[in-house]
Structure 1
Amino acid sequence: MPRRGHRNGEQDSQAEKTTEKERRRRTEQHKERIMTKEEIVSAHGEYNLQSWSKQKGLSPIAVRNGDGLYFWDMDGKRYSDMSSQLVNLNLGHGNRAIIDAIKEQAEKYCYISPGYASESRSQLAKDLVSFLPDTFGKIFFTNGGADANENAVKIARMYTGRHKIFSRYRSYHGSTFGAGNLTGEPRRYPLEPGIPGFVKFFDPYLYRDGLDETDQEKASKQYLARLREQIIYEGPDSVAAIVIETVTGSNGVIIPPSGYLPGLRALCDEFGILLICDEVMAGFGRTGAMFAFENWGIKPDLVTFAKGVTCGYVQLGGVAVSSKIAAHFDDAVLSCGLTYSGHPLACAAGVACVRYYGEHGILENAKERGKTLSSLLQNIQTAHPGVGDVRSIGLFAAVELVKDKKTREPLVPYGKDPEGIMKAILRRLAAKGFMTYSHENMIIVAPPLIITDDQLVEELAKLDEALTEAGL
């Protein structure tokens, strides 16, 4: 009679053969399931609702892979990602440090609820607080930028006991119900009638308002005086917070003039209003600083973030709050909660991202390459009668197209493009392998922060050519 151990050895061997056979079978099945380009595009149109689009006639590019600045379609054509997708892929495609961090966390555990202490969650919160001003204390993690802004508003209302929230017309803070009501541009219309207590004001836009751009301090005083009057007429004791994109993003990379943000900080202090800086797009090195508000030396009360914290490798957002606000909730209940708050995989990606920024000089690269980008854009502005203005800070830029440089009339009406002019320009750029997006009469230029000077020269030449071909 064979020994027990020998029989188990035979069984183990048989089990291994069965496992290997099953593995081969699954591999073959997987190979059979790989979709062709045509199948991918067809299924996309048949089963997906694509954001911000009429669904009929869509023909998106089917993407095969990406590396650094570039990604390739299923036919092998290379594209340069000159908008970092949605201004979130700050470290480019295929970053091994982020990928490896996600894998390492997945092997430990993929999910644990927010009520447990998770190493990646704790580490990322600690790292983020260390990058913020010394007035900051804690982080509340969210799924992305929209719910970061919604929770920031909620925290501000709980902390102050007030209900009104000021935000700007030329702004985008997300499209969920709360964030959509914060948003000022036309994408808020489907949410109307909106939430009571959301008040809009105009941000400082010297080019569009025809003001003297050489005297920014004077312009700032004018904008702030109007805002102060509006606060008084709304009742200062009812205003919980003023929410701004530190640098207005998709609505034209509108950079605040000198003196505006310090003046806004003083205005908030005067009336006991919280200042919330939406850094979802402008944060994490995009402007050459870790957070855009650092460029003007101010300290907000709350900061919302997303996008560049994980570069889109796993979705994550959050609200950073001052120590004073954090202390309020030592005894008061924080009535905020999300199933995926501080998701371990996302936080692991975040830790890797944040450390990569520091260890590889990404902020310095954004600042230096930003000088090259600014120079190239100014050359384009000079050369093209249809380019009314170019604005950039770090690697965050917009090209504003006009019908006439003297009148500054936009190339297309705000919120509309009846003749498809902007879409036609984007198609010309895509044919040259330059991928970005437009909003109203603006073309966004916001490449990954790892871009080189040579790559900038190569890509901006394509933009120059496309504008020439479009007769601009």
Structure 2
Amino acid sequence: MAGHQQQQLVREARHLAPGASEEAALGGRVFAEGRGAVLTDLDGNQYVDFAAGTLTQSLGHGHPEVVAALTRQAGLLWNVHDSSTPERAEFFELLARLLPEHLNTYALFSTGAEVVEAALRVVQSTAEPGRNRVGALRHGFHGKTMGARMLVHWDVGHQAFSGNSILGYSPYCYRCPLELTYPSCDLRCATLVTRHIAQKPNVSALVFEPVLGAAGVIVPPAGYWERVSEACRENGVVLVADEVLTGGGRTGAFLASELVGAEPDLVAMSKGMANGFPFAVLAGRDELLRAPAASPAGAYASTYAGNPLGIAAARATLEVVARDHLIDRVRVLGERLSEQLAALRARFDVLGDVRGIGLLHGLEFVRDGSSRTPAPEIARAVYTTALDLGLRTSVGGHIIRLAPPFTMDEALLDEGVRLLERAIELAVEQVPE
């Protein structure tokens, strides 16, 4: 790569701390502009964006109605802490129309990790005496803050902060830790989550991703969440759905929980809710979010929480999603993408598994189909080759995730898959056996 991009990268490297995402470090691009599903870099090269920002741009880049809403609000008011502003009540009413009826009370925040932490505070405040443990799932991801890391026993350095979390088995059928096969397994993983988390008298809540995103888009088999949810309800365990990635329509329903058979008491949403603008919502049952113990002064306040710019972007985004029936569009495009990716899996032995729901898919690369040995070197080669061809995806380890904008047309979707297929062809040729 030559030209202005390389100069820019060298210039900023003098001051930029390392630790960027794998995709940024491998890609080495300087993106200058985005329009719809297409990005343009500093040297004028264009890319079909199958990652939709960081799985955030529901409406694509620079959607004119979101831009107009932000521009108008920027000229009026930016931040008055958590005081009421003219659009807030209308935004709440819009949310109430889109969410299940029982999720009728809302608190606003600015990031996914922040809203997960807020949900944990609600759980801790309202839990009965003796219920001092929280359940989560192996392979889950809820953010990089302390509470979010403790949920999944994510240690940093030599410090262990597992806290009070109990981990249950996620429905990772391709790599079943119990070495069983669905459906003959009778959902043994769900049975064990029920036994070790839902039925324990000292557990207050189960925090979960309905579809595990960072782990590689792990879609649960039918019956998993129905079984776990029922056990949690029967035993008074609060269900906290982390829909930071999936909330807002990406899976073909406004909440992925609706599709997988879970009925959460609290839901954390961010990413696509405001088309990539920093914004997050905690939605929940009235009796939880309004409980006196959970709502003393300042409980739901923070510096940027619910700022007028975020509300304007979120309202504009969700109004377009609702008006243009884009969740129906997600289902149509998702089926088309799923069929095309299934054909790629049948063709390439290194593509061990393809999983997806709506416009959220994960490609798991392996050295060969029989051993299922993870092959991050192949995933990296596919990612960088695709970029060179004009397709941007999201890579992490041996997984590539795809999450195109809801507004993408069929022709561009097909072109993106064609570029992905060519990238896999070239990557397989260049990676040594």
When the two structures are superposed, what TM-score results if normalisation uses the length of structure 1?
0.84
Match of 2:313 among 349, 359, 374: 349
The equivalent of 1:325 in structure 2 is: 288
Whole-Å separation in 2 of the counterparts to 1:280 and 1:458: 28
Match of 1:204 among 171, 176, 197: 171
Return 367-376 or 324-333, whichever deviates more: 324-333
Classify 1:471/1:197 alpha carbon distance in 2 versus 1 (closer, same or farther; 3 Å). same
Corresponding residue SS for 1:409: coil
Whole-Å separation in 1 of the counterparts to 2:94 and 2:402: 29
The equivalent of 2:349 in structure 1 is: 385
The equivalent of 2:59 in structure 1 is: 91
The equivalent of 1:225 in structure 2 is: 191
Whole-Å separation in 2 of the counterparts to 1:470 and 1:460: 15
Classify 1:110/1:327 alpha carbon distance in 2 versus 1 (closer, same or farther; 3 Å). closer
Whole-Å separation in 2 of the counterparts to 1:129 and 1:120: 14
Contact 1:220-1:260 at 8 Å conserved across structures:
no
Q: Map 1:254-269; keep pairs closer than 5 Å.
A: 254-269=218-233
Structure showing greater Rg: 1
Contact 1:388-1:402 at 8 Å conserved across structures:
yes
Whole-Å separation in 2 of the counterparts to 1:70 and 1:197: 44
Corresponding residue SS for 1:199: strand
Classify 1:407/1:195 alpha carbon distance in 2 versus 1 (closer, same or farther; 3 Å). closer
The equivalent of 1:460 in structure 2 is: 417
Corresponding residue SS for 1:470: helix
**Amino acid corresponding to residue 182 of structure 1 in structure 2:** L
Whole-Å separation in 2 of the counterparts to 1:331 and 1:448: 36
| Percent of aligned pairs sharing the same letter | 26
Whole-Å separation in 1 of the counterparts to 2:159 and 2:186: 31
Q: Number of aligned pairs?
A: 421
Is residue 65 of structure 1 aligned with residue 65 of structure 2?
no
Whole-Å separation in 2 of the counterparts to 1:331 and 1:377: 45
Match of 1:182 among 136, 151, 175: 151
Classify 1:462/1:322 alpha carbon distance in 2 versus 1 (closer, same or farther; 3 Å). same
Which segments of 5 or more consecutive residues in structure 2 lack a partner in the other structure? Answer: none
The equivalent of 1:133 in structure 2 is: 100
When the two structures are superposed, what TM-score results if normalisation uses the length of structure 2?
0.91
Contact 1:247-1:256 at 8 Å conserved across structures:
yes
Give the deviation of 1:121 after TM superposition. Answer: 2.6
Contact 1:252-1:400 at 8 Å conserved across structures:
yes
**Amino acid corresponding to residue 47 of structure 2 in structure 1:** Y
Contact 1:83-1:435 at 8 Å conserved across structures:
yes
Cα-to-partner distance string for 1:195-231 (whole Å, 9 max, x where unaligned): 5202222201111115434x2xx54641122123323
Whole-Å separation in 2 of the counterparts to 1:431 and 1:332: 51
Give the deviation of 1:42 after TM superposition. Answer: 3.2
**Amino acid corresponding to residue 279 of structure 1 in structure 2:** E
Whole-Å separation in 1 of the counterparts to 2:239 and 2:294: 23
**Amino acid corresponding to residue 328 of structure 2 in structure 1:** E
The equivalent of 1:315 in structure 2 is: 278
Whole-Å separation in 2 of the counterparts to 1:50 and 1:93: 27
Whole-Å separation in 2 of the counterparts to 1:220 and 1:392: 22
Is residue 113 of structure 1 aligned with residue 50 of structure 2?
no
Corresponding residue SS for 1:242: strand
Match of 1:445 among 373, 396, 402: 402
- How large is the Cα RMSD of the aligned pairs? 2.4
Corresponding residue SS for 2:201: helix
Return 353-362 or 320-329, whichever deviates more: 320-329
Classify 1:345/1:50 alpha carbon distance in 2 versus 1 (closer, same or farther; 3 Å). farther
Classify 1:51/1:81 alpha carbon distance in 2 versus 1 (closer, same or farther; 3 Å). farther
Contact 1:166-1:199 at 8 Å conserved across structures:
yes
Give the deviation of 1:71 after TM superposition. Answer: 0.8
Is residue 236 of structure 1 aligned with residue 209 of structure 2?
no
The equivalent of 1:102 in structure 2 is: 70
Return 349-358 or 318-327, whichever deviates more: 318-327
Classify 1:268/1:317 alpha carbon distance in 2 versus 1 (closer, same or farther; 3 Å). same
Corresponding residue SS for 1:166: strand
Classify 1:361/1:188 alpha carbon distance in 2 versus 1 (closer, same or farther; 3 Å). farther
Classify 1:285/1:275 alpha carbon distance in 2 versus 1 (closer, same or farther; 3 Å). same
Whole-Å separation in 2 of the counterparts to 1:243 and 1:237: 16
**Amino acid corresponding to residue 230 of structure 1 in structure 2:** H
More helix by proportion, 1 or 2?
Answer: 1
Match of 2:122 among 155, 163, 169: 155
Contact 2:363-2:401 at 8 Å conserved across structures:
yes
